[in-house]
Structure 1
Amino acid sequence: MDTYFPDRDIRFIAVNDNIDSDEGESEIAPFKNVLNEFYARDISKKCRSSYRIRGSTGEPLAPPPYGYIKSPDNPKKWVIDPEAAQVVRDIFKMALEGKSNETIARILQERKVLIPMAYWQEKGIRKGGKVTQPNKYKWCKTTITKILTQQEYCGDIINFKTYSKSYKNKKRYDNPKENWVIFKDVHEPIINRDDFELLQTLVVKTKRRAPKKENGEKNMFCDFLYCADCGSKLWYHTNTTNKEIHFFSCSNYKKDTRGNCESRHYIRADAIEQVVMLELRRLAKYLESHEEEFAKLLAEKTNADMLAEQKNLETELNRATARNEMITSLFAKTYEDNVSGKLSDEMYMELSHKYEVERLELKTKIFEYKERLAKISEMEQNKDDFLKAVRKFMEMETLTAPMLRELIDHIDVYEKEGGKKNYTQRIVIYYRFVGYLELPSSENENYKANTRKGVDVEYIPKAKSA
């Protein structure tokens, strides 16, 4: 009897090939089955150990993703596949421009770009998966999502993303991120790391599909605007009567969506664009004329934020660590009470399950706190990245979606104050790397944007909480 196990493609011959014979079952069959079980388990353990060693030394355990191929000189190294890598760059470029995954998939299909599986088949590269495809140009949005979230395109190797529970179970399970082993800058990157990390924040924030329009595009301010009162995202709409009017409103407004926000927080798309352009030009002008003061302002801002964040994280980490130690003690005491008869088996199982769930949650939190504390030191570099982004904006005449994503994290929109024709509306811009930034202003500065005839929106560059 040839026997296989799922961890590796290794075959072994069972101790007894004819346990069930014409003469009936052998008396020693159960013992031989036990030996076979031990043998399979031992081989699996050795393979797992070898697998763990190779993965821990930086050897890629998975085949190269679309855009890479194995090096002809060293199959353990990945090199860029120029043709596929260009498609990956185009996908990231379109995503950073604000195109949805469905739109990107449609564009690639219209360009007659082969899907990854069809591309590998054409190049003679063996890959697992569905071999036959009805349409070799029909990209799926899930494929786009997978490409946009693969850190390997930054030049990294990530091992142990999945695991198997037993050599008897072929199913692979997702491994928690804290159990991954990441080796950075192992091979040549296809995508800039900063662009990749920026896109991941957008992927997390973006949940609602782009509104249907004639050109199929969504406004570049989608996913940037938030209600200042309830914290919900502002959704993009087109006026049903006048298709030329596009606006944003709170997704949690009680009269539109049966939410609980009292006000609509209506703001026109052209108004927010002009106001943001005005503020960014003001920011660039201040940098150009007061470079030293601007650098000092950023240093004070990042240092203050860094110290506050560090203090908060250290407090939370100490609290989680102390609770984790207490859980260990409580679990041990519960076990002793169960053994001594003070606690029933049923109560012991219930409490032990409760403690185990909490322990796993604490383990995740502790990992996240330590990871965020490790990134605190990067905040010093953040102000330099912000200065580079502002200087890049100074060279541009118009605001583009990639530049918007490079400069701004989010914008809080307050409800209008005043009448229907004469009103002011407060918006607060939070920049990437540095958060809310209040610049010195003079009395002569004008922060009004004329969006159309007879309508002005006034920008007040100071948050209520500032």
Structure 2
Amino acid sequence: MQNNANEMAVFNTAIYVRLSKEDIVAAQSGRESNSITNQKQLVLDFLKDKPEFNIVSIRIDDGYTGTNFDRPAFQRMLNDIKAGRINCVVVKDLSRFGREYINSGKYIHRLFPVLGVRLIAINDNIDTITRDESSEFSITLKNLMNDNYSRDISVKVRSQLQVKRKHGDFICPFAPYGYQKCEGNHNRIEPDPYAATVVQDIFNWKIQGMTNNGIAIRLAESGILAPLEYKRHKGEPLFSGFKMKERCEWTAQAVARILTNPIYIGTLRQGLRRRPNYKIKKSIPTEENEWVVIHDAHEPVVTKRTFYLAQKALLIDTRAAPRATTVYPLSGLLECGECGNAVTRSTINNGYKLYSYFRCSVRTKEDRCELKQVPEAQVEAAVLQLLQEHISAVVELDRCLSEIQQVPYQKINVAKCEQRREKLAAEIARYRDLKASLYEDMKEGLISKTDFCDIRGQYDARIADALIAQEQIDRELSIYLSGEQSPNNWMKTFTEHRGLKSLTRAVVLECIEKVVIHKDEKLEIIFEHSEDYARLVSSLQEYAARGILGEAM
């Protein structure tokens, strides 16, 4: 019996050490942090002269929070306990075991006693084998204090991170593909010389008409590493919200994430997701008005114009033919002039050659639109001719502008801006007055509550639109008054294409908003910057009426 008693006095022990995420870089590089080493040494020194403890395992969670127990080493230790291989756990203090009050209490007060597991927290002077009311209270109090500490730290960290976001600091643990962290300041990013050129190619290929899947195929065939593989190649820490494969490949989704990220034009968006509190690991989306957006926060990889054209290409319907990696020049830009629906491209084989034509998508599906099919070659030839004529007209406008005296030109533009602004101000005042009278109308029974809400919403929308228009006019005014002529920089969109010989996807995206096909095969083209064009023609006509154009010429 004495021998059995001695055997029972030996505890199969697991040493558990943990450090939070601030040491994650050391963990990812394969090195243990000094704090982990110190914790281990403290526990080993404590057990050194105590033969009743048989050290079975040392479990380490480096870079894991104590506010939950979803930690790999802790879970392995728990499996050992449930399998009967461990009946004693030793930690430096209770905060290493966990900082979450409820679940820490569940393990210490309920699960461990049922399984016959002894817990020793050295610096807290706690050993559950000598459990009494005083020690129970001490454990509960320390768990509460550890929980409260986590909450306070969480609040302080969130506040500090928000300040850094508003200051324009980059606070993510890793730079997005195409960028790298600056060597002297890890809160700033700069273009990665190699990956930035890949990003530029992705944007250019999209504008030239390639599909996202086509771009992914081309990148893979060119031997260009996917973003996560590139990080592996550079030896950087890997973090991903997506399930990681043994080898990551380029996908259409990965291409789309790059094409839609404004970080490539220097715009830093942070705070898009948040955790409800420090105990919940899963993050949730934040409202857009809560995002922290800093423009020109770092060096862009692509121009704003390139980014805009890529977004336009993504927004319009650009479904490619089966197995095709590019779309046709006019894909997604054609509209039926009879019913307003999309016009699609179809191809038939008449036995000798392929014949491509455009027809209304409604007619194709339901045969109820009057627009008949129109040959693709005919449409493209007409669009090219009309675009060439419009480019010539813009080139002529540019020539006239260069000959106009700048002072009267500036005065007339300022006067026209002020007239437009006054008109908008009157419109805003009118809708505000109408909105103010709505409540009285509802009280008197002239309109229902439902009508009141609907009409008020309409007035609010019109006021908001007018305020946005006013802001645009204010920007134009500041440019005119500063003597710059950048409001007419849009003309370069067309003048750069003088001498155009053929339609390409890039030219179409840059110059054309949409093409409307009518049943008499007449084409109507809405060009980009059509409002700017009309405003400039109106100004030149006014110059001519005042004799300014003649004086300049």
Query: What TM-score do the two structures reach when normalised by structure 2?
Result: 0.59
Query: In the alignment, which residue of structure 1 is the partner of 2:504?
Result: 400
- For residues 33-44 of structure 1, the aligned pairs below 5 Å read 35-44=145-154
> CA separation in 2, counterparts of 1:67 and 1:256?
43
1:50 aligns with 2:154: no
> When the two structures are aligned, how many residues end up with a matched partner?
397
* CA distance, structure 1, for counterparts of residue 19 and residue 427 of structure 2: 51
Contact 1:430–1:436, Cα closer than 8 Å, also in 2? no
Q: 2:189 aligns with which of 71, 78, 81?
A: 78
Q: Taking structure 1 as reference, are residues 85 and 289 closer, same or farther at Cα in structure 2, changes over 3 Å only?
A: closer
Pick closer, same or farther for the CA change 1:9–1:90 going to 2, 3 Å: same
* 2:254 equivalent to 1:123: no
Q: Is the 8 A contact 1:383 1:434 kept in 2?
A: no
**Secondary structure of 1:390's aligned partner:** helix
The alpha carbon displacement at 1:178 in A equals: 2.6
Corresponding residue for 1:429? 525
Distance 1:216 1:150, change over 3 A: closer
Per-residue deviation at 1:84?
0.7
Aligned 1:85-96 pairs, distance under 5 A: 85-96=196-207
Judging changes above 3 Å, is the alpha-carbon distance between structure 1 residues 437 and 183 closer, same or farther for their aligned structure 2 residues?
Answer: closer
1:279 matched to which residue of 2? 386
Residue by residue over 1:166-202, the C-alpha shift from the partner in whole angstroms, topping out at 9 and shown as x without a partner, is: 2222222223333222222222211011110222233
- The 1:9–1:182 alpha-carbon spacing in structure 2 relative to 1, beyond 3 Å, is farther
1:238 aligned residue: 347
For residue 197 of structure 1, the aligned residue among 303, 308, 313 is 308
Aligned partners of 2:420 and 2:343: how far apart in 1?
A: 29
Q: Aligned equivalents of 2:509 and 2:373: distance in 1?
A: 22
CA distance in 1, matches of 2:433, 2:467: 11
Would you say the 8 A contact 2:199–2:258 is kept in 1?
A: yes
2:265 aligned residue:
154
Separation in 2 of the partners of 1:292 and 1:384?
A: 12
Q: For residues 30-429 of structure 1, what are the structure 2 equivalents within 5 Å?
A: 35-62=145-172, 63-129=174-240, 133-136=245-248, 138-206=249-317, 209-212=319-322, 216-241=325-350, 244-251=354-361, 253=362, 255-258=363-366, 262-264=369-371, 266-289=373-396, 291=398, 374-376=471-473, 384-416=488-520, 425-429=521-525
Amino acid corresponding to residue 230 of structure 1 in structure 2 = C
Counterpart in 2 of 1:450? none
The alpha-carbon deviation at position 404 of structure 1 amounts to 1.5
Instruction: State, as a whole percentage, how many aligned pairs show the same letter.
Output: 21
3-state SS of paired residue (1:83)? helix
Distance 2:163 2:221 in 1: 45
Contact 1:178 1:367 in 2 (8 A): no
Between Structure 1 and Structure 2, the one with more helix by share is 2
CA RMSD of aligned residues (A): 4.8
Task: Find the aligned partners of 1:35 and 1:391 in 2 and give their Cα distance.
Answer: 70
Aligned partners of 2:319 and 2:418: how far apart in 1? 35
Distance 1:167 1:365, change over 3 A: farther
Write out per-residue CA displacement over residues 409-428 of structure 1, whole angstroms, 9 at most, x where no aligned residue: 11222223xxxxxxxx2221
Deviates more, 1:315-324 or 1:115-124: 315-324
Equivalent position SS for 2:180: strand
Amino acid at match of 1:256: T
Larger deviation, residues 104-113 vs 266-275: 266-275
Q: 1:286–1:294: 8 Å Cα contact kept in structure 2?
A: no
For 1:316 and 1:162, the matched residues in 2 are separated by 36
Q: From the superposition, tell whether residues 48 and 288 of structure 1 become closer, same or farther in structure 2 (CA, over 3 Å).
A: closer
- The alpha carbon displacement at 1:156 in A equals 2.3
Distance 2:289 2:358 in 1: 38
SS in 2 for 1:274: helix
Contact 2:169–2:187 (8 Å) recurs in 1:
yes
Cα distance in 2 for partners of 1:289, 1:55 equals 47
Contact 1:310-1:373 at 8 Å conserved across structures: no
| Deviation of the 1:368 alpha carbon | 8.3
Q: TM-score, normalised by structure 1?
A: 0.69
**CA distance, structure 1, for counterparts of residue 320 and residue 417 of structure 2:** 34
> 1:290/1:217 Cα in 2 relative to 1: closer, same or farther (>3 Å)?
closer
CA distance in 2, matches of 1:310, 1:262: 44
Shift of the 35–150 alpha-carbon distance from structure 1 to 2, 3 Å rule, reads same
Mark the runs of 5 or more structure 2 residues left unpaired by the alignment.
Answer: 1-15, 23-62, 68-94, 110-127, 404-409, 440-448, 480-484, 538-553
Unaligned runs of 5+ in 1: 328-350, 417-424, 441-466
Deviation for aligned residue 1:257: 2.1
Larger radius of gyration: 2
Single out whichever of 125-134 and 277-286 deviates more from structure 2. 125-134
> 2:267–2:297: 8 Å Cα contact kept in structure 1?
yes
